[in-house]
Amino acid sequence: MSLAATARSRSFAPLLRFARRSPALALGSSIVGLVIVIALVAPLVAPYDPTFQTMSDRLQPSSVAHWLGTDGFGRDILSRLIYGTRPTLLIISLVALIMAPLGIAIGIVAGYYGGIVDRILMRFTDMAMSFPRLILAFAFVAVLGPGLLNAALALAVTSWPPYARQARVETQAMRRSDYMASVEMLGIRGPRLLFGHVLPLVFPLAIVRMALDLAGMVLIAAGLGFLGLGVLPPTAEWGKMVADGTPVIFDQWWVAASPGVAILILSLGFNLMADGLRDIMDPRHG
Amino acid sequence: MTFRWTFAASLLGSVALISVPAGAATPPDVLVVAQSIDDAVSFDPAEGYELTPFQTFNNVYQRLIESSEADPTKIVGALAESWDVAADGKSITFKLKPGAAFVSGNPVRPEDVVYSFVRAVKLGKTPVFILQELGWKPDNIEALVTKVDDSHVKVGWAADVGSNFALAILTAPISSVVDGKEVAAHASNGDFGNAWLKTVSAGSGQFKLTRFVPHEALILEANPKSPAGAPKLKSVILKNVADAAARRLLVEQGDADIARELGADQIASLAGKPGITVKETPSAQQDYIIFNSASKSVPALSNPAFWEAARYLVDYDGLANKLLKGQYTIHQTFLPVGFPGAIDDKPFALDPAKAKAILAKAGLTDIKFKLTVSNQPPFTDIAQALQSSFALGGVAIEVEPVVNSELYGKLRSRSYDASALYWFPDYFDANTNASAFAFGTGDDGPHTVAWRAGWNTPDISAKTHSAIVEQDPAKRAVLYANIQKAVEASSPFVFMLQAKEQIVLSNKVKNYVQGITPDQIYYGQVEKK
Amino acid sequence: MTLVASSIVYRRRSWMLAAGVGLLRWLGSIAIGLAGLILVTFIFAHLSPVDPVIKVVGDKATPETYAAARLALGLDQPLLLQFGSYAGRVLTGDFGNAWSTGQPVVNDLLRAFPATFELATVAIVMGAIAGVGLGLIAGLWPGGWRDATVRVVSLLGYSVPIFWLGLLALLLFYARLHWFGGPGRQDVTYELMTTHVTGLMLIDTWLSGDSAAFRDAVSHIGLPALVLAFYSTAGIARLTRAAILEELHKEYVTTARAKGASQARIVIRHILPNIRAAIITVIALAYAVLLEGAVFTETVFAWPGIGRYLTISLFASDVPAILGGTLVIGVCFITLNTLTDFIVGGLDPRLKP
């Protein structure tokens, strides 16, 4: 990451200014924002209880009573889609809360101290980076058992390396800057320096990366659900809903179709956000 | 600009190449069966205890005697021409059919029968418990099963059971007769040829197992010299198609002749499609709920009032006629319809109000337990339906889907609250289920299903024991009827459903027959026209 | 003369030296990655709640049999020793016996690998052609409708859940339109007739000389390959576009243009050779990701490769099979990933996945 880009991202104010100019960012953030709002007010907007079964209304197509039809238990698909925002957002926020701080901490320490610390940490990071993270996440959940927390943990422990690399590069660049020299001259050292003064400077770029990563996370989390490694029944989760619709895909296609669209939209939202943010950070990669 | 054209041309080219119409008919003398064979681990009759091996054994091996295809309550000779029960009722002497030979060309000798039973007992693999019902152990088996002369073999037993029961045991798949010479030649490290026999067959059935590729296919080829007669088909391919929707399409489009284990929704969608028939046969599979009354975490599970309430919290009708439509019938006793001694008694229906009243009277409130089920369909579906209907009675269920091996591990170590699962009888006698569900004598007794439920029931156990010794079939039936009534009224089991097997056949397939037990599948007389 | 010659020799030597060092570093990173994978899988195996002894002897075994099997598996030894013997076995290709098939995991994986390799290779060829093509179009006409279209296509490619796309593709192109073959690699009819020489169905059916069998194999691989290809097209197109834009702004392009060179000539003679390395890197990375993406595609299309083997094993909690599959995909992934580092050297960290 170039110094110029770092300098540009020193404060959030330019981000907001650019947001108005970047339709991708605006559209992406609105989608993500809307999904978050839906998750928060799910009980208010969902027409039915997402786990309420009506065996006599199984696999109904779209109707006035059930806008998106019903699934194999006669549950309202729309309500399940609405409640399905919750586990998805919960998993990806858990992942974000674990992976970004972990990666940034390793990166800052490596970048700031350099030398042997840097070499050991970066070797470790490179190794973790070359792992197939999807497969490892699957193996992790498969071995430890399905569930929301295991799924989030699996994704987090395999996704931190890029944050470490990025934070390290930025920290190294910053070390050489006048700002850092003056801070150090004031006698600020150790953790206070790292987390009080280096961290805020590394943070904005980590956010961009996170937006980009979260799109992938939405897909992987749904994939875990699809393979039956995500949340436990009867919790509505989009990936699991697609899996539930698979046996009837050739006749009642809508059961699997709409949760897939939901995954696509949320993932697209994060991707648009990331795209917009990247335009702002570095127009070359638009 | 040139790139655009090259790109477009290559794209068009690849589409043109790919777009060939799919769908070809299967060859006339080959039967293609689409089913899941992911469960198959071993095709050694002394070891195989999964559905796919069971469905194969009758086609590649023969037993001394077998349950008749047409009337399973009748026992007919297979490799045995006739048999005589000894006067003391402790042994049977079988006369082998003359001239019978294995697929290798080796003749079927009394030595092969002895070898087959000795190896099964000494190998001690999963299904050996069936033979142990006869009191067979590694140290007495050679004394109990002996060659009389070149055409006679004597089968004796050490357990206190009647000869009818012993005959029933000898119809089980583990009683298949293997080619002793051939198998012994492939033995290594005293494994009785087990490693070799896992993926091939060495029997006298109408087919031989020539190739088993795990997760992909199983190929049976005709054995025209079989004592059971030459089969009509040249080969049978069991093609692994794990996804039920894909199985349905294969049979619908003529890429497969038979499709098994389709879900209720797939069967419904096939209704009225030309060229295919849905054949229904009763199955002895039963689905039931088991409560662990030894559970420390949920004391209510050991309370007979809760057991009674639970019987009114199952939506039998919704399960059998809606969720799993056409695949089950409601059945509430532990012997499946079609078995000798079975009674068809259905006193329970979903009645949350009644259940609530029973629970309130017993002072049971806020009951919450974990229902551990297999992660395979239809059990995840059944579990969710139970979750919903138990909630109506104020009982909260947390569903825990696990893989089968983990489920059985939990049941056997009694580290679970409750489960909803299936049961298959192991041989054609009422005792197979009675000894599992109606025999619990505490930790010192055998670890039966009743033991897994923590159910110590000396009275019923004594009845079950006396029923097995009884020789008169009519009196036995009465005894079993009483035991079923007792278990139905109060036990930590809720019997819900008996399966109906729905097999989808292409109209080209003729003479397909399937019996009530899972191993009664015969491809020998099947024809394609 | 001599001076120039010696400087050339020197330059060549230093290039070879650099390549040698690069090769060593590459092998070094593969070794480290492999060591890490072995450690991670070992930890997973020990975290697993499934008792490996029960899996071997069955749950009806006597306590004596159980204890003997436990001893035979070396489970009473200190962890470090257990890790040592595990690593030793893995390095010699012994992953143990799969619980769900009863056969050595290595055999299962060797049988499954060609299927995955064939699918991923066909997909990456399609994806690379489409991706580079779209990237070129977008990069050469930035800002216009072409660029916007390519951007939407790649955004969708990034965002679509591949298992769902596969399902819809099966529904539409197989079940409804009959354009493609169904799940699996072949129709059952051809499956019997094809002799397996290479394990690659396209080649084996071609060798068999039966054109119907070959067409059948093509119609079966078409759909999953297209779905996978779509998945990789997005990344390749985006990076090709970025690389082209970067080159277009360089001085030599301006110079060439000033000299009157046509756009086509500039692209073919100047830009493409210059961005070759970047494109190869992206394709190699996409190929590695495809190996992972194959897990879903193979599951949906019942494609008997390593990905489906993994998901079947996941369902059966078959620990040796899961770990064996993870190791094999992991090694391929690490090799491809580090290979690109080796080829291109230090790359902008933002370009990494």
**pLDDT tens per residue, range A193-235:** 777 777 777 777 788 788 778 888 899 889 989 988 888 878 8
Compare CB distances from A56 to B266, B322, B385 and report the shortest one's residue: B322
pLDDT at C315: 76
Q: Pick the residue with more confidence: C274 or B361? A: B361
The minimum CA-CA distance between A47 and chain C, rounded to whole Å, is 26
Separation CA A267–CA C327 (nearest Å): 29
Separation CA C321–CA B41 (nearest Å): 14
- For residue B408, the chain C residues in CB contact (below 8 A) are 59
Cβ–Cβ contact B352 with A under 8 A: no
Compare CB distances from B249 to C98, C175, C189 and report the shortest one's residue: C175
Is the model's pLDDT at B392 over the cut of 50? yes
Residues C26 and C143 in one domain: no
Residues C25 and C167 in one domain: no
Model confidence at A56, pLDDT cuts 50, 70, 90, reads: confident
C40 and A131 in contact by Cβ < 8 A? yes
The minimum CA-CA distance between A263 and chain C, rounded to whole Å, is 7
Strand partners, B85: B92
Residues C277 and C245 in one domain: yes
Separation CA B227–CA B81 (nearest Å): 11
Is the model's pLDDT at C328 over the cut of 90? no
CA B343 to each of CA B465, B480, B517: distance values in angstroms, whole numbers, following the listed order? 19, 9, 18
pLDDT tens, position by position, B396-447: 999 888 877 678 778 878 889 999 999 988 888 899 999 999 998 888 777 8
- For residue A226, the chain C residues in CB contact (below 8 A) are 161, 163-164, 296
Is the model's pLDDT at C296 over the cut of 60? yes
Instruction: Provide the residue range defining the domain that includes A122.
Output: 83-281
pLDDT at A165: 87
Phi, psi of C99 (to 5 degrees): -70, -35
Separation CA B166–CA B170 (nearest Å): 6
- What is the DSSP-derived secondary structure letter of residue B231? -
Q: Pick the residue with more confidence: A199 or B30? A: B30
Both tokens assigned to C75 = 């489970």
Length of chain A counted residue by residue:
286
List helix spans (H) across B124-235: 128-132, 141-144, 163-169, 180-185, 194-197
C112-138: average pLDDT = 92
pLDDT at A128: 83
Compare CB distances from C100 to B26, B41, B246 and report the shortest one's residue: B41
Domain edge (last residue) among C39, C61, C91 = C91
Separation CA B139–CA B116 (nearest Å): 15
Separation CA A103–CA A166 (nearest Å): 9
The minimum CA-CA distance between B479 and chain A, rounded to whole Å, is 38
Number of domains present in the structure of chain A: 1
In the block, tokens 């934070």 appear at A167
B329-353: average pLDDT = 93
pLDDT at C351: 39
Residue C62 exposed, middle or buried by CB count within 10 Å (0-12, 13-18, 19+): exposed
Where are the CATH 3.40.190.10 domain residues in chain B? 2-39+205-281+502-528
Separation CA B517–CA A255 (nearest Å): 35
B506-518: average pLDDT = 89
Phi, psi of A32 (to 5 degrees): -65, -45
Cβ–Cβ contact B385 with A under 8 A: yes
B140-146: average pLDDT = 95
pLDDT at A11: 55
- For residue B24, the chain C residues in CB contact (below 8 A) are 187, 189-190, 212, 216
List helix spans (H) across chain C: 2-47, 52-57, 63-72, 79-91, 105-140, 145-159, 162-169, 188-193, 201-208, 211-248, 251-258, 263-265, 272-300, 306-316, 319-344
Model confidence at B351, pLDDT cuts 50, 70, 90, reads: very high
Q: Pick the residue with more confidence: B203 or A249? A: B203
Is the model's pLDDT at A18 over the cut of 60? no
In 3D, which of A104, A98, A69 has the Cα closest to residue A158? Answer: A98
Q: Pick the residue with more confidence: B282 or B61? A: B61
Compare CB distances from B1 to C51, C216, C264 and report the shortest one's residue: C264
pLDDT at A13: 64
Q: Is residue A175 part of a domain?
A: yes
Contact yes or no for B217/B225 (Cβ under 8 A): no
First to last CA, chain C: 48
Q: Is residue A61 part of a domain?
A: no
First to last CA, chain A: 16
Is the model's pLDDT at A113 over the cut of 70? yes
Chains that touch A (3 or more CB pairs under 8 A): B, C
B290-306: average pLDDT = 92
Residues C308 and C181 in one domain: yes
Q: Is residue C99 part of a domain?
A: no
Phi, psi of A36 (to 5 degrees): -65, -45
Cβ–Cβ contact C302 with B under 8 A: yes
Residues C9 and C116 in one domain: no
pLDDT at B21: 40
B100-119: average pLDDT = 96
Number of domains present in the structure of chain C: 2
Domain at A234, CATH number? 1.10.3720.10
pLDDT tens, position by position, A157-168: 888 888 898 888
- For residue B189, the chain C residues in CB contact (below 8 A) are none
Window 122-181 of C, Cβ < 8 Å to A? 155-156, 158-165, 167-168, 170-171, 175
Separation CA C147–CA C138 (nearest Å): 4
Q: Is residue C162 part of a domain?
A: yes
C310 and A135 in contact by Cβ < 8 A? yes
Residues C113 and C83 in one domain: no
B128-138: average pLDDT = 90
Strand partners, B154: B93, B146
Instruction: Provide the residue range defining the domain that includes C229.
Output: 105-351
pLDDT at C129: 94
Return mean pLDDT, chain A: 83
Specify the range with the lowest mean pLDDT, choosing from B5-19, B24-38, B79-93, B240-254: B5-19
List helix spans (H) across A114-235: 115-129, 133-144, 148-159, 161-175, 178-185, 190-193, 199-226
Residues C211 and C277 in one domain: yes
Find the helix packing angle between C2-47 and A133-144, rounded to 10°: 20
Domain at C201, CATH number? 1.10.3720.10
C86-107: average pLDDT = 84
Domain B2-39+205-281+502-528 carries which CATH code? 3.40.190.10
- pTM for the full predicted model: 0.83
Return mean pLDDT, chain C: 81
The percent of residues in chain C predicted with pLDDT above 90, rounded, is 15
CATH 3.10.105.10 for domain B282-500, yes or no, is yes
First to last CA, chain B: 58
C155 and A272 in contact by Cβ < 8 A? yes
Residues C133 and C83 in one domain: no
Q: Pick the residue with more confidence: A133 or B336? A: B336
Label the pairing between strands B30-35 and B258-259.
parallel
In the block, tokens 């290595």 appear at C106
A247 and B399 in contact by Cβ < 8 A? no
Window 20-39 of B, Cβ < 8 Å to C? 20-27, 30, 32, 38
- A141: enclosing H helix or E strand: helix A133-144
Domain edge (last residue) among C91, C116, C143 = C91
Largest Cα–Cα distance of chain C, in whole Å?
88
Q: Pick the residue with more confidence: B184 or B16? A: B184
A146 and B401 in contact by Cβ < 8 A? yes
Where are the CATH 3.90.76.10 domain residues in chain B? 58-197
Tell me the three state secondary structure of residue B193.
coil
Cβ–Cβ contact B299 with C under 8 A: no
Domain edge (last residue) among C50, C65, C91 = C91
Separation CA C252–CA C243 (nearest Å): 15
Model confidence at C346, pLDDT cuts 50, 70, 90, reads: very low
Q: Is residue C228 part of a domain?
A: yes
Q: Is residue A19 part of a domain?
A: no
Model confidence at C9, pLDDT cuts 50, 70, 90, reads: low
Cβ–Cβ contact C100 with A under 8 A: no
Residue B9 exposed, middle or buried by CB count within 10 Å (0-12, 13-18, 19+): exposed
pLDDT at B196: 93
Tell me the three state secondary structure of residue B152.
strand
Q: Is residue A205 part of a domain?
A: yes
Q: Is residue A128 part of a domain?
A: yes
In 3D, which of A10, B7, B107 has the Cα closest to residue C240? Answer: B7
Nearest residue of B to residue C225, measured between CA atoms: B18
Both tokens assigned to A62 = 């779209």
Phi, psi of B259 (to 5 degrees): -125, 135
Contact yes or no for C195/C204 (Cβ under 8 A): yes
Q: Pick the residue with more confidence: A158 or C233? A: C233
B86-102: average pLDDT = 93
- What is the number of H-type helices and E-type strands within chain B? 19, 21
Q: How many CB atoms lie within 10 A of CB B346?
A: 12
The minimum CA-CA distance between B379 and chain A, rounded to whole Å, is 12
A251 and B265 in contact by Cβ < 8 A? yes
Is the model's pLDDT at B60 over the cut of 70? yes
Highest mean pLDDT: which range of A200-214, B140-154, C209-223? B140-154
Model confidence at B2, pLDDT cuts 50, 70, 90, reads: very low
Contact yes or no for C234/C131 (Cβ under 8 A): yes
Compare CB distances from B22 to C180, C263, C308 and report the shortest one's residue: C180
Interface size between B and C, measured as CB pairs under 8 A:
128
pLDDT at C119: 94
Residues C172 and C244 in one domain: yes
Is the model's pLDDT at C25 over the cut of 80? no
Is the C-alpha dihedral spanning C95, C96, C97, C100 positive or negative?
A: negative
Q: Is residue C259 part of a domain?
A: yes
A65-80: average pLDDT = 90
Tell me the three state secondary structure of residue A90.
helix
Classified by CATH at the fold level, domain B58-197 comes out as Dipeptide-binding Protein; domain 1 (3.90.76)
Compare CB distances from A263 to C158, C164, C314 and report the shortest one's residue: C164
Q: Is residue A24 part of a domain?
A: no
Model confidence at B330, pLDDT cuts 50, 70, 90, reads: very high
Q: How many CB atoms lie within 10 A of CB C113?
A: 18
Contact yes or no for C116/C291 (Cβ under 8 A): yes
pLDDT at C248: 82
B245 and A232 in contact by Cβ < 8 A? no
Find the helix packing angle between A148-159 and A199-226, rounded to 10°: 130
Contact yes or no for C162/A239 (Cβ under 8 A): no
The minimum CA-CA distance between C6 and chain B, rounded to whole Å, is 43
Q: Is residue C100 part of a domain?
A: no
Contact yes or no for B509/B251 (Cβ under 8 A): no
Query: What is the phi-psi region of residue A122: left when phi exceeds 0, alpha when psi lies from -120 to 50, beta otherwise?
Result: alpha
CA C338 to each of CA A126, A166, B388, C351: distance values in angstroms, whole numbers, following the listed order? 9, 18, 52, 14
